[in-house]
Amino acid sequence: MPAKSGDSSRIVTIPNAISAVRLLFVPVFAILLARHDDAWAFVVLALSGASDWLDGVLARRLHQVSELGKILDPAADRLFILVTLVALAWRDVVPWWLVAAIVLRDVLMGGLLFPLAHRGYGPLPVHFVGKAGTFALLYALPLLLLAQRPDAWGTAALVLGWAFAWWGIGLYWLAGALYATQARRLLGATGAT
């Protein structure tokens, strides 16, 4: 998509730095989870979810919305969700079908990037439904990790975690349908089928 008025080509911004740090914490989280250091893994995962919200707020308030940020932030979200899901499935915290449901949607959305780029379009603007689905998943994952506790906190986290997970999956796929419709319109307008 063409840059909106006020979008910047700057690379070094506070929101981009937050997204970059979030990317750096992906392997840290994976190592913590592999070592069964669940308390620290939970902290890293919770901070990642909070930082995802923070970088968007700061980008708008500081007028630091950038083209790089429009790519870096969703990429950090997808990578963190993917690594977290695979690590949690590997630990038998979540079922593998959950990983497949999220990965399949992202693969289908990734397939839209090539025809859009071929027609001169950048990534589609983030839709509220997509952001809500991502937030729901980013809340679900630490709760499902916390659900491993054998006490009332674990039970409450299990219920809340799965509630967020189901909402996240539904919103994630709904957003995928909205993005596919938007891409179809753009591609149809430029003569692609």
pLDDT digits (tens, 9 = 90+) for 72-115: 777 888 888 888 899 889 989 899 999 999 999 988 888 888 88
The predicted-structure confidence for 108-134, as pLDDT tens digits, reads as follows 888 888 888 888 887 777 788 988 898
The four Cα atoms 7, 9, 13, 18 give a dihedral, to 10 degrees, of 80
- Residue 96 identity: W
Joined together, the tokens standing for residue 120 give 């001169």
pLDDT at 1 over 60: no
First to last CA, the chain: 18
The predicted-structure confidence for 142-156, as pLDDT tens digits, reads as follows 899 889 888 999 999
Pick among 3.90.1150.10, 1.20.120.1760, 3.40.190.80, 3.40.50.2000: CATH of 14-189 = 1.20.120.1760
Q: What residue has token string 């990965």?
A: 103
Cα 142 from Cα 44, distance rounded (Å)? 9
Rounded average pLDDT over 9-36? 83
Give the pLDDT of residue 101: 94
What 3-state class would DSSP assign to 92? coil
